[in-house]
Amino acid sequence: MYWAKTRSRARFNLATSGVGSFPLAELPCQPELEINGDSAYGYAPLQQAIARKCGVDADCVVTEMGTTMGNHLTMAALLEPGDDVLIEHPAYELLVSAALYFGAEVKRFARAEENGYALDPEAIRRVLTNKTKLIVVTNLHNPSSALAPDAVLGEVGDLARSVGAHALVDEVYLDAVYENTPPTSYRLGPEFIVTNSLTKVYGLSGLRCGWILAQPDLARAMWRLNDLFGVIPAHSAELLSVAALEQLDLIRRRARGVVEADRALLGEFLAQQSAVSAPRTAWGTTAFLRLHDGDVEELLARLRTDYETTAVPGRFFDMPDHFRIGMGVNTDMFREGLRRLGLALAGQPLV
């Protein structure tokens, strides 16, 4: 995250993970803002709007500062030092750091590149023990954007239930499946906990509108625990979040064209390149590329200095032969960033 905040920016930024920012001026029906409101344990209109979006009861919804905080609160509520937490590999680094912060024993299970990073319940079964408290996955998968179908997630839930554990599914990228968007996996069983926000697919990161879906008793425990961290959210952000949730389809549509144009360009790029490869998906805002020959750190350093272009090093995913690139911000920038990446891969000067 430190790298993302301090080192990822460049003229041609392929190091993004979500869509471009949605400007306040384009939000129809702007709410009348107020500073203070009735948001002790959830601002009711926001609770209801999220519950409606997810098709769940409002008492399953814990609103908080974003998916990252949702993941943190989930672990804070469930983990004791020494508990086993099973986390996919490759994974969003903060998931691993958060589990370690709570003193958990982190065990990794592979999502194999040769299978398009598909979620594999067998790989989970191999590291499952009676000490397992939590199985952690992202859907869509960060960094590859692989989508796990319900049947597979159901098997993950069965594995969790068999040892009295929970399955945490971070769905912050799920709505980037634009056609037949899958409903939340929360509905698959009581062992599921889901985290999400308006950050990645809607370009509304600044609202810090995140939520957790959990069984009501666990949700209540999380509300109480959140008193330690946040106490009361910014009410003006809650009002804006309610307004945004009323216009979600419009907000999502704004970025869809950019994401899809970028994905088409990436497809052409990968078809022409033998130096890199990546499993293709028809959705998502990130792709995880393998560099077949050479050193990723050296490539990305040269890409930054000589070509003003950035991408995320695979070392942040414990896969140093890879790098992640992001779609959905600006297609002209993406096209030129890919062209420069191609030149860097070929060792050709910038023309």
Ligand X SMILES: Cc1ncc(COP(=O)(O)O)c(C=O)c1O
Among 39, 63, 184, 199, binds ligand X (CB under 6 A): 199
Instruction: Return the range that interacts with ligand X (CB under 6 A); candidates 29-37, 62-70, 127-135, 307-315.
Output: 62-70
Using DSSP bridges, classify how beta strands 192-197 and 210-213 pair: parallel, antiparallel or unpaired: antiparallel
With tokens 């982190």, the residue in question is 106
241 is a contact residue toward ligand X (CB under 6 A): no
Our CB check for ligand X shows the closer of 175 and 307 to be 175
Among 53, 158, 189, 205, binds ligand X (CB under 6 A): 205
Our CB check for ligand X shows the closer of 77 and 176 to be 176
* Number of amino acids touching ligand X (CB under 6 A): 13
210 is a contact residue toward ligand X (CB under 6 A): yes
Residue 81 is encoded by which pair of tokens?
A: 């030092």
Among 17, 132, 145, 281, binds ligand X (CB under 6 A): 17
Other C-beta atoms closer than 10 Å to the C-beta of 340 total 20
314 is a contact residue toward ligand X (CB under 6 A): no
Using CB atoms, what's the residue nearest to ligand X? 66
Our CB check for ligand X shows the closer of 128 and 172 to be 172
Residues 90-149 that bind ligand X (CB under 6 A): 92, 138, 142
Answer for the pair 270, 338: CB distance below 8 angstroms, yes or no.
Answer: no
Nearest to residue 307, comparing CAs of 264, 271, 256, 345?
A: 345
* Contact pattern for ligand X over residues 77 through 96, marking x by CB under 6 A: ---------------x----
Our CB check for ligand X shows the closer of 196 and 309 to be 196
Instruction: Return the range that interacts with ligand X (CB under 6 A); candidates 61-69, 97-105, 146-154, 317-325.
Output: 61-69
What whole-number distance in Å separates Cα of residue 301 and Cα of residue 297? 6
* Rg (alpha carbons) of the chain, rounded to whole number: 20
Answer for the pair 323, 345: CB distance below 8 angstroms, yes or no.
Answer: no
Angle at 118 between CA 165 and CA 342, to 5 degrees: 135
63 is a contact residue toward ligand X (CB under 6 A): no
Sign of CA dihedral 267, 271, 275, 277: positive
66 is a contact residue toward ligand X (CB under 6 A): yes
67 is a contact residue toward ligand X (CB under 6 A): yes
Among 172, 213, 259, 329, binds ligand X (CB under 6 A): 172
Question: CA separation (Å) from 261 to 200, 204, 252, 328?
Answer: 17, 21, 15, 8
Our CB check for ligand X shows the closer of 39 and 67 to be 67
Instruction: Return the range that interacts with ligand X (CB under 6 A); candidates 66-74, 101-109, 183-191, 293-301.
Output: 66-74
145-163 as b/e: b if 16+ CB within 10 A? bbbbeeebbbbbbebbeee
What whole-number distance in Å separates Cα of residue 91 and Cα of residue 246? 32
What whole-number distance in Å separates Cα of residue 31 and Cα of residue 242? 9
Among 145, 185, 197, 310, binds ligand X (CB under 6 A): 197
**Amino acid residing at 174:** L
Our CB check for ligand X shows the closer of 252 and 340 to be 252
284 is a contact residue toward ligand X (CB under 6 A): no
